Amino acid sequence: MLKRAVMLAVAGILTLGNSLPVLAAEEEVVEPAGYHVYDSTEDSETDTWYGIARGTYLKSGKSSLTKEDSTHASCSGNTLAHVKADRVYVRIYLDKSDTAAYGSWGTVNYWTGTAADASMATVYSGSYKVTKNKYYRVTGAHSVTENGTTESTDTSTNAKLFN
């Protein structure tokens, strides 16, 4: 019994040793430490994420929803890097629900901004027609890639009723 346990342990160590080089070859994805600041006005909702770790690539990410009138919204987002990075990315999603608190959210549309060898990427939807008496929010995906390391975070505004 002891002999079998030793053989299994050795086989496990050899298997682990063989898999480590494969893991090291993949791109490293990191979610840095940070905090969200939510801003609400009568006609807009914003979520801004700020990174707090020093020496990282991802500085901040922001998504915003603006109520132009009862049937039109505009959405925007940006991602900022601490340095001029290989790739800076932002994608914002316009989501819709029947109720703000417990509704199931569905994505209506999305917009993407990418910049190479830059420190900022932005995106803007323009005026977008929405359905009256529904709740909308904007969620964002933000990332910075530099030297094979990608740092990423997400944002999500509070819901806004379009009535």
In a domain, 8, yes or no: no
**What's the structural domain count of the chain?**
1
Q: Is residue 42 part of a domain?
A: yes
pTM of the complete model:
0.80
Whole-number Å distance between alpha carbons of 138 and 94: 5
Query: Does the residue 9 lie in any domain?
Result: no
Quick check: is 20 in a domain? Answer: no
We report the CATH number of the domain holding residue 74 as 2.60.40
Q: pLDDT tens digit string along 20-60? A: 333 344 667 888 899 999 999 999 999 999 999 766 899 99
136 within domain boundaries: yes
Residue 39 belongs to domain spanning = 27-162
In a domain, 12, yes or no: no
Q: What is the pLDDT of residues 75-118, one digit of tens each?
A: 999 999 999 999 999 999 999 999 877 769 999 999 999 999 99
The answer as to whether 10 is a domain residue is: no
In a domain, 124, yes or no: yes
